[in-house]
Amino acid sequence: MQSKQITRITPADGTPAPKVGFVSLGCPKALVDSEQILTQLRAEGYETAKSYDGADLVIVNTCGFIDAAVQESLDAIGEALAENGKVIVTGCLGAKKDKDGDDIIQKVHPKVLAVTGPHAVGEVMAQVHTHLPKPHEPFIDLLPPQGIKLTPKHYAYLKISEGCNHRCSFCIIPSMRGDLVSRPIAELMLEAENLFKAGVKELLVISQDTSAYGVDVKFRSGFWNGRPVKTHMTQLTQALGELAKQYGAWVRLHYVYPYPHVDEIIPMMGDGHILPYLDVPLQHAHPDVLKRMKRPASGEKNLERILKWREMNPDLVIRSTFIAGFPGETEAEFEYLLDFLKEAQIDRLGCFAYSPVEGATANELPNPVPDEVREERRGRVMLLQEEISRNRLKAKVGKTVKVLIDELTPSGAVGRSAADAPEIDGVVHVKRPFDPKKKLAVGQFYDVEITTADAHDLWGEAQ
């Protein structure tokens, strides 16, 4: 995802405020970093510019996860240098070295003013102050309390921690972002409250490992609304659910590893504020592959756990991602994965053919799977998933589901139900109501009767 935007504030003495262009690439965690930098820029009185030539300086927030993302980031930096010339780079790629241990960005683009790693608001701001001194009189009161968001007004991401304590063999995120650092629970609750007050109707909880929230601070207690609340996933979820209820909003949980304490979250989904939706990145099902991947919770009985969750809440929707063709994956191990998928009936699934990431320890594993076999296996997973998804969505026809509208269209609107996270899942196409007095509006909830389904999306009529 890429967004470019530019912001404007004029100090009281009439001096035009310096303008910063911003290019944001990468995952929702990177997006939150971008929001924090933009919030800080705005707090200090900087403007954001709408074009490269209208900016005094450009910040590029990069992604370094897979090779395609690295290339996209390097291209974006090149474009900003060509169009503007004054460029500060931040984000995951900023922390990445090449085989010789040299900084990748400095090597390809030696003209950039500065490079920082991810989650480095302070460092980025220090570089901005050096290369574009801050306005004389900051207009702190112009800053909205919820900060600056790059998402639409009605949904927002809440990043609860940074970094990761695991060392999955295919991943280099811990080497780029460091070990887990949980944000204080009171700070998170305040941010969530400000977002709800500002009109957010769906809060998406993200991190590298949501189930591990608080491990680094030994689950210490913070205070919220005059009562102690532990820095722990279950207490955070409960507190967010209570807050969301006051504002009639949704909370959606991402990157949840299937540890036993996740069982305690399922009963919280009963009243529809903590959504009956879990994004559980499983990556594989065969125990030997999971061991080679060094996955967290690989010893847990994932299938049993999923079936138990479904028994506790039959409406539960599970999203997951898988890797096909991981080094050493045999045909038998792959078929084990297919059998698991048939049993687990994952609602929303992404599958990637294994792609080596520079610096990942998985690259040294023996018996790499040939490229064409990886692709062929990915195709087989997606074919099976299409059938599973089609059947699961078909079962919704005739039912009425609550839908949050994302955008209006000539024939009505496009929205999402509890089963659909923005950007990654399907959508619900909502027909304009017959009654002209009943209007569909972005950021509002509607009861929608489902009339049609395919393998990804639903269609229905607002009641």
User: In the complex, which residues of this chain contact ligand SF4 (CB under 6 A)?
Assistant: 164, 166-168, 171, 173-174, 208-209, 296
Smaller CB separation from ligand SF4, 169 or 444: 169
- In terms of DSSP bridges, do strands 2-6 and 19-25 run parallel, antiparallel, or are they unpaired? antiparallel
Q: Considering only CA atoms, which of 348, 401, 421 is closest in space to residue 157? A: 421
The position carrying tokens 């968001």 is 149
CA distance 356 to 451: 43
CA distance 90 to 62: 6
Q: Smallest gap, in angstroms, from Cβ of residue 170 to ligand SF4?
A: 7
Q: Smallest gap, in angstroms, from Cβ of residue 65 to ligand SF4?
A: 9
Smaller CB separation from ligand SF4, 166 or 456: 166
Q: Considering only CA atoms, which of 396, 289, 300, 274 is closest in space to residue 347? A: 396
Smaller CB separation from ligand SF4, 92 or 239: 92
Residues 6 or more apart whose CB falls under 8 angstroms from that of 407 comprise 413, 414, 442
Q: Is 351 annotated as a binding residue?
A: no
Q: Smallest gap, in angstroms, from Cβ of residue 29 to ligand SF4?
A: 10
Q: Smallest gap, in angstroms, from Cβ of residue 243 to ligand SF4?
A: 27
Calculate the CA dihedral of residues 106, 109, 113, 116 and round it to 10 degrees: -50
Q: Smallest gap, in angstroms, from Cβ of residue 177 to ligand SF4?
A: 8
Name beta bridge partners: 437. none
Cα–Cα–Cα angle for 273, 274, 275, rounded to 5 degrees: 95
And the tokens for 312? 């506790």
Return the sign of the alpha-carbon dihedral for residues 276, 282, 287, 290: negative
Calculate the CA dihedral of residues 332, 333, 334, 339 and round it to 10 degrees: 90
And the tokens for 104? 């990748």
Smaller CB separation from ligand SF4, 162 or 406: 162
Q: Smallest gap, in angstroms, from Cβ of residue 361 to ligand SF4?
A: 11
Q: Is 171 annotated as a binding residue?
A: yes
Q: Smallest gap, in angstroms, from Cβ of residue 213 to ligand SF4?
A: 13
Smaller CB separation from ligand SF4, 57 or 204: 204
CA distance 121 to 26: 16
Smaller CB separation from ligand SF4, 164 or 204: 164
Name beta bridge partners: 274. 251
The position carrying tokens 């009641």 is 463
Smaller CB separation from ligand SF4, 40 or 208: 208
Smaller CB separation from ligand SF4, 57 or 293: 293
Return the sign of the alpha-carbon dihedral for residues 141, 146, 151, 155: negative
Q: Is 171 exposed, middle or buried (0-12, 13-18, 19+ CB in 10 A)?
A: buried
Smaller CB separation from ligand SF4, 146 or 298: 298
CA distance 212 to 262: 10
Q: Smallest gap, in angstroms, from Cβ of residue 256 to ligand SF4?
A: 11
Q: Is 166 exposed, middle or buried (0-12, 13-18, 19+ CB in 10 A)?
A: middle
Q: Smallest gap, in angstroms, from Cβ of residue 166 to ligand SF4?
A: 4
Q: Are 70 and 93 in contact (CB under 8 A)?
A: yes
Sequence ranges of the binding site for [4Fe-4S] cluster: 27, 63, 92, 164, 168, 171
Sequence ranges of the binding site: 27, 63, 92, 164, 168, 171
